[in-house]
Amino acid sequence: MDRGVIPNSETVILVSGLSKSVATRDDSGVPLQILHEVDFAVSAGETVAIVGASGSGKSTLLGLIAGLDAPTAGSVQLCGHSLFDLDEDGRARLRGEQMGFVFQSFQLLPALTALDNVMLPLELAGAADAEARARKWLERVGLAQRVKHYPKHLSGGEQQRVALARAFAPDPAVLLADEPTGNLDAETGAAVIELMFELNRERGTTLILVTHDNALADRCDRVFHMQGGRLEEQVTA
């Protein structure tokens, strides 16, 4: 996408000139450039896929969009807020209010039950009805009978369904999904993806999906390809 992307009134994410480099361990003194001046905007309710090989910078970009890491240059606006004008606490608060996450490795807390895992972000947000909402979401993802189970007693597909319930429960504006089927077999992964897109449509959430699966990416409204730290939008005929 061209530099100088102009946001509209429904822009949820605006990435401008985003670059990331890190120091190398060799004696050259030349930093390793991971992202090169990335620009794109995402509107409310859009589904966007970012596709690329391992090491192309996809997950780095997702981490910067979430404010989990700081760029070398450039900016990210989330729901009208400039992420890197905020301190770490401010970014965390904004993430809690506006973002849900689904990871390849599920990222459930092993010492908490399925119910407690889903309740956690609701309780952190101060929701008085955290348990009722968490139970409703676990029922929605087909796990009403598994609420008291710990992650180690759940299959991979069940764990990812808990992760989906946890991500959607706080009603985020944006869902970030990083290779959400990477640890699942093909049949289970397909069912989880179908559920994720279904929930996304129901809630009108803006989805940014990082994947190496072109068929999965093609289900999204827009597809971007990441190669060598550069992002280009796929042009459809």
Q: What does the pLDDT read at residue 27?
A: 67
Give the pLDDT confidence score for residue 3 in this predicted structure.
35
Q: Does 22 have pLDDT greater than 70?
A: yes
**Which of 29-33, 145-149, 177-181, 184-188 is modeled with the greatest confidence?**
145-149
Token pair in block for residue 13: 């994410």
Q: Give the model's pLDDT for residue 237.
A: 57
Dist. CA 202–CA 199, nearest whole Å: 5
Does 1 fall in a domain? no
196 vs 194: CA distance, rounded Å: 5
The pLDDT of residue 42: 95
Facing residues of 232 across strands? 225
Quick check: is 3 in a domain? no
Question: Is a pLDDT exceeding 90 seen at residue 14?
Answer: yes
Residue 4 lies in a domain: no
With 70 as the cut, is the pLDDT of residue 6 above it? no
Whether 53 is covered by a domain: the verdict is yes
Mean pLDDT of 72-93: 93
Q: Which CATH number fits the domain that encloses residue 208?
A: 3.40.50.300
Q: 227 pLDDT exceeds 50?
A: yes
Range of the structural domain that residue 95 is part of: 11-233
Per the document, the length of the chain is: 237
Task: Tell whether the model's pLDDT for residue 69 goes beyond 70.
Answer: yes
Q: Measured between alpha carbons, how far is residue 90 from residues 33, 177, 208 in Å?
A: 27, 22, 22
Specify if 5 maps to a domain: no
Q: Once rounded to an integer, what is the mean pLDDT over residues 132-158? A: 96
Counting the structural domains of the chain, the total is 1
Unique residue bearing structure tokens 């004696």: 27
Task: Say if 6 falls within a structural domain.
Answer: no
Q: Which of 212, 176, 182 is nearest to 51 (CA)?
A: 212
How many of the other CB atoms lie within 10 Å of CB of 125?
14
pLDDT band at 9 (very low <50, low <70, confident <90, very high): low
As beta bridge partners, residue 226 has 231
